[in-house]
Amino acid sequence: MWPLVRRRYALPVLLLFAHGCGSCYSADRPEPPSTSDVTALKIAPSTVFVVPGAIFVMRARILDGLGGVLPSHPDLAWSPGSGLSVVSKGADSAVVKANMLTSGTSLKSTITAQLGTHNAAASVTVLAQTAAGTNDIALGDNRNAMQPDVVLLDDLTAPIPIDDSLIAFVGIGLLGNLSGGTGEVARFASDQAFYREPVSWQVTKDVIDMRTHRVSAFLPALRNSRYLLELDWLRSRPQGRDLSQSRHALLSSPRSEYGSPRARPAYLQTRITT
């Protein structure tokens, strides 16, 4: 089923990433085309979830009359919506920053590209800390000025089968409420390796953690900090050992504010001096 990467994954990912590669242009164009040469304008991805403060890249797909993708256009302009700002612009792209939220609710905004008489808009949702709720979520690394991660998810045994639903996100992506079926999640990123995880969707919240440095566990603050608490992960369960003569506390990394992780390292300890 998975010799390398299933061929059906190639098309949606190439549509998002390939046009940013200098070797993928349809032809050499020594002179910048005029706006009359442009027949269509799109933004990829068209919908993206981001965490507050994220800095990410959005790309325009500029098509000419022959269906070729133009690598750039001097008249391409970007307009950020509420809660967004354009940090810089490239040949066919813009580096966008999501501002910090001023309230506890998510902000749905847009980023718009204009070229001559053509306009294209993409939806950008800046997620509040509690936005996930009971939704299944995907977690990824929040990298600076990179294209959003792209997730394809399946739930073929659901009452209404889901086949390669595409979700783009920076830091966290909302997958919806999937339960009772089996499927898989495949993640594509411009700077990280391909990731795939088979999933049995639970009635409770599913968290697909694809971060390179995953959170392992959480312990509340100790009332009496004059302890050494050592965690040895054995069969995914922490074994505590108390050394009361020490003035150090060994605590695990805090829980992600967006959900609990799945992976558990073989051993974890982080020293905090009190």
Q: How far apart are CA 47 and CA 169, in angstroms?
A: 8
Q: How far apart are CA 147 and CA 95, in angstroms?
A: 9
User: What pLDDT is recorded for position 161?
Assistant: 86
Residues 248 and 135 in one domain: no
Question: End of a domain among 161, 195, 211?
Answer: 211
Query: What is the four-CA torsion angle of 108, 150, 190, 65, rounded to 10 degrees?
Result: -80
* Token pair recorded at residue 261: 């992780």
Residues 202 and 265 in one domain: no
Residues 185 and 76 in one domain: yes
Quick one: which of 207, 200, 206, 81 has its CA closest to 140?
A: 207
The owner of tokens 């695990």 is: 252
Residue 18, domain CATH: 2.60.40.1080
3-state SS class at 9 = helix
- The DSSP annotation for 124-171 comes to EEE--TT-STTSEEEE----TTBPPEEEEEEETTSSS-EEEEEEEEES
Residues 149 and 268 in one domain: no
Residues 113 and 156 in one domain: yes
Q: Which domain holds residue 260?
A: 214-274
Q: Tell me how far apart the terminal alpha carbons of the chain are, to the nearest angstrom.
A: 53
Question: End of a domain among 211, 232, 249?
Answer: 211
Q: How far apart are CA 29 and CA 23, in angstroms?
A: 13
pLDDT in single tens digits along all 274 residues of the chain: 444 445 555 555 555 555 555 444 445 555 656 666 899 999 999 999 999 999 999 999 999 888 889 999 999 999 999 999 999 999 999 999 999 999 889 999 999 999 999 999 999 999 999 999 989 999 999 999 999 999 999 988 877 888 889 999 999 999 988 887 889 999 999 999 999 999 999 988 999 999 986 654 444 444 443 333 333 334 444 444 443 333 333 333 343 344 444 443 433 334 433 3
User: What pLDDT is recorded for position 231?
Assistant: 38
Residues 66 and 166 in one domain: yes
Question: End of a domain among 161, 194, 211?
Answer: 211
User: What pLDDT is recorded for position 269?
Assistant: 39
User: What pLDDT is recorded for position 262?
Assistant: 42
* Token pair recorded at residue 175: 């997958």
How many of the other CB atoms lie within 10 Å of CB of 96? 25
Domain count, the chain: 2
Residues 239 and 160 in one domain: no
User: What pLDDT is recorded for position 65?
Assistant: 86
229 secondary structure, DSSP code: B
Write down the pTM of the prediction: 0.67
Alpha helices, H only, the chain = 10-17
User: What pLDDT is recorded for position 235?
Assistant: 41
User: What residues form DSSP beta bridges with 174?
Assistant: 137
Residues 178 and 223 in one domain: no
Residues 247 and 188 in one domain: no
For 194, residues 6+ apart whose C-beta sits below 8 A from its C-beta are 5, 186, 187, 188
Residues 114 and 199 in one domain: yes
Rg value, the chain, Cα: 22
- Measured in whole angstroms, the distance separating CA 264 from the mean position of its chain's CA atoms is 21
